[in-house]
Chain A
Amino acid sequence: METDLNSQDRKDLDKFIKFFALKTVQVIVQARLGEKICTRSSSSPTGSDWFNLAIKDIPEVTHEAKKALAGQLPAVGRSMCVEISLKTSEGDSMELEIWCLEMNEKCDKEIKVSYTVYNRLSLLLKSLLAITRVTPAYRLSRKQGHEYVILYRIYFGEVQLTGLGEGFQTVRVGTVGTPVGTITLSCAYRINLAFMSTRQFERTPPIMGIIIDHFVDRPYPSSSPMHPCNYRTAGEDTGVTYPSVEDSQEVCTTSFSTSPPSQCVFTVTKAHFQTPTPVVTDTLRVPMAGLAFSHQPAALGVGSADLAYPVVFAAGLNATHPHQLMVPGKEGGVPLAPNQPVHGAQADQERLATCTPSDGTHCAATPSSSEDTETVSNSSEGRASPHDVLETIFVRKVGAFVNKPINQVTLTSLDIPFAMFAPKNLELEDTDPMVNPPDSPDTESPLQGSLHSDGSSGGSSGNTHDDFVMIDFKPAFSKDDILPMDLGTFYREFQNPPQLSSLSIDIGAQSMAEDLDSLPEKLAVHEKNVREFDAFVETLQ
């Protein structure tokens, strides 16, 4: 295609397009990390902020993008695509969006490269920032955690939209005309979010690889097998020349999940309670144990009597991340408890939310229903410093552990640390006003009562002793003699009260009819007693 561009303009344009492509990928991937993005404005130009926008560069993402581009630029028939997909902990995956940066043949010869094209590319990036928060995948990505993660894949070439299911929608972010063609940025997104029933094994490596790859903390990548973020089929590989890719070694070992790299998910079984910290840390490094967790909520839900109940939670090493860090070194195992699986009566796997500090506080006092979990975790950003809150929570939890062994049988069958804690934490429980309802000073503390009760779960838990500790924790002001049920059940029941019978239409109609029928009789009776009524009225006057 002939252009009238001078060589300097051509060079500039190529540079603009290249960096625009890289920044586009950064914006898209960062928007799917699950965190709020915040960058600062700077009145003095730094010279390194392309398009006058403060967009951070995540090195792995830049690397992947450069690798995909392999020195080429988007051109006609060669589009740069960023595929965003969702992968559950069980290995099911689903493509959510495809972002395409395309070039078509429509040229705008008159346009000024260094000025107008640059500014329009900047505007297009701003539009991209806005649009990435508006597609359905954004809300999904904000809620990602150990149930599912959001992955990205960058490829170059023909756009493949078949994985998006039927009826996908497209939104055009914008176009910028240049002397060599028109750049178009668009997004095709899935609207049918019903999960695919068949697993795409041909596209996914084994579950083990994925979970390890995505949940392993960055400092420990070496033990994880490679999980390429590029699902390159044979077709894609051919025909694409690759100049030597620098840093190829690093590619192999990086995790390509867009979930926060510092997020760690692991399962601690009861067995771990017996052992001190090192076991926990080992679990962190070898999250194979984490594979079992997907079954646990269901098990909890039916109140299984399985002693080895797992505790699932997410730990984030990034202090700004809402997911909290499990502080190693604290004795007694797990301080944080997820709200939802504990109440497993509605063990809904999708609702398994991570426990944020605010959740943790709630954990201590009011284990809430799954809906609350979501709201709370959504609003948990920007709360107090995670570590402060964590400290508080942890102190409470220590008490909870003691509370847990409600019946003697449980106590003896429990691991030794519980027994160890029991006497200590009785004190804690006694002095804690949240545990001992202040309005019942005469009755013995529910804790003590329940400790001696046999068989009953102490009223705070309809589930067996093998449920997670939190269920058995006596919430403040609850009395087990009135309502022998756990707080979760209580809460659910009272959230959905049956409709008042007098408000239901049928009964209302019935009573109306009855009233009408009985009117004549009532009138007759009243007429008989006229004299009494008159006397009564006179007394009033």
Chain B
Amino acid sequence: MNCRSEVLEVSVEGRQVEEALLAVLHTVLLHRSTGKFHYKKEGTYSIGTVGTQDVDCDFIDFTYVRVSSEELDRALRKVVGEFKDALRNSGGDGLGQMSLEFYQKKKSRWPFSDECIPWEVWTVKVHVVALATEQERQICREKVGEKLCEKVINIVEVMNRHEYLPKMPTQSEVDNVFDTGLRDVQPYLYKISFQITDALGTSVTTTMRRLIKDTLAL
């Protein structure tokens, strides 16, 4: 099974980075979250209820829908904040990308650690622009809002293809498919990573870091 990969690109002003990313990530996770599973004796399960809420963006003329889960929102805001700081500190062209990867865990026999097999990856490429006048910023607000509308439609289109989704797991396998750590909702197992890229699209610092980390991990 191949991992399907979707790439979205956004050009935003510095202060819009967080909201634009949150809008995309939350829209994807809305579709990739279910209610909490409650397994019953006979192997059947019931599913909890997912609430939703509208979020108005402050710097973009845009509203998106997210699942009503403060824990999930906090987790996303944390990583998006780190990305924004990294972008700001990189001092480069203001290019970066964030990846939301859905994966399944496959238990391996000792001594090998569990494998993480991604089945869907969403990559958001962010390009930060600097604007000079208030008028430009106002136009940017509206334009980015319209762009995000298009992105949501793209996301929904992909979701609608009903392509591969992990099978609903048994109780023993549920942690290999879903993130059961949240209190109120249960998204598919996911991880978020990001990298700051230079104009050529190659990641500068993170490549080095990853190399070192990988060598040390062994």
Contacts and interface: CB of A to CB of B under 8 A. Distances in A.
Interface of A: 36-46, 49, 52-54, 115, 120, 123-124, 126-127, 129-131, 133-135, 138-139, 142, 171-176, 378-379, 381
Contact of A36 (B27, B34, B48, B63): B63
Interface string B54-93: 1010100101110111000000000000000000000000
B49 A131 contact: no
Given A43-B35, A381-B56, A129 B51 contact: no
A174 B36 CA distance: 24
Given A43-B48, A45-B48, A52-B47, 5 more contacts: A36-B53, A37-B53, A41-B68, A54-B49, A131-B153
B50 interface: yes
B15 interface: no
Interface stretch (B94-102, B157-165, B188-196, B203-211): B157-165
Contact of B184 (A43, A45, A53, A379): A43
B156 A139 contact: no
Contact of A130 (B38, B47, B58, B65): B65
B140 interface: no
7 contacts: A38-B54, A39-B52, A41-B35, A42-B49, A52-B47, A172-B160, A173-B160
Contact of A42 (B31, B34, B51, B53): B51
Contacts, number: 117
B52 A37 contact: yes
B34 A52 contact: yes
B31 A54 contact: no
Contact of B58 (A39, A126, A379): A379
Contact of A38 (B34, B51, B183): B51
A367 B47 CA distance: 52
B46 interface: yes
Interface string B142-170: 00000001001101110110100000100
B30 interface: yes
A172 B156 CA distance: 9
Contacts of A44: 36, 38, 48
Contacts of B156: 127, 130-131, 173-174
B52 A45 contact: no
Given A54-B52, A127-B31, A174 B160 contact: yes
A475 to B, nearest CB: 23
Given A43-B48, A45-B48, A45-B49, A133 B36 contact: no
Contacts of B12: none
Contacts of A39: 51-53, 68
B185 interface: yes
B53 to A, nearest CB: 4
Nearest to B64: A133
Contacts of A130: 27, 30-31, 64-65, 152, 155-156
* Pairs of residues from A and B, 9 with the lowest C-beta to C-beta distance, nearest first: A174-B160, A39-B51, A41-B184, A38-B53, A54-B51, A36-B54, A41-B51, A43-B36, A49-B49
Nearest to A115: B168
B173 to A, nearest CB: 17
A44 B64 CA distance: 26
Nearest to A111: B162
B65 A46 contact: no
A126 B162 contact: no
A367 B69 CA distance: 39
A49 B47 CA distance: 10
Contacts of B157: 172
Contacts of B49: 41-42, 45-46, 49, 52-54
A134 B152 contact: yes
Contacts of B51: 38-42, 53-54
A384 B36 CA distance: 34
A37 B48 contact: no
A53 B50 contact: yes
B67 A41 contact: yes
Nearest to B151: A134
Contacts of A40: 51, 68
Contacts of B168: 115
B175 to A, nearest CB: 16
Interface string B24-36: 0001001100111
B160 A127 contact: yes
B172 to A, nearest CB: 19
B58 A53 contact: no
A42 B67 CA distance: 11
A174 B56 contact: no
Contact of A133 (B50, B63, B68): B63
B159 A123 contact: yes
Contacts of B47: 45, 52
Contacts of B48: 41-45, 52
A52 B50 contact: yes
Interface centre among A37, A133, A381 (most CB of B within 10 A): A133
A114 to B, nearest CB: 11
A135 B153 CA distance: 10
A53 B49 CA distance: 5
A174 B157 CA distance: 7
Given A38-B54, A41-B185, A133-B65, A123 B152 contact: no
A250 B1 CA distance: 55
Given A41-B35, A130-B30, A131-B153, A53 B52 contact: yes
Nearest to A31: B54
B138 to A, nearest CB: 9
Contacts of B153: 131, 134, 171
A40 B52 CA distance: 7
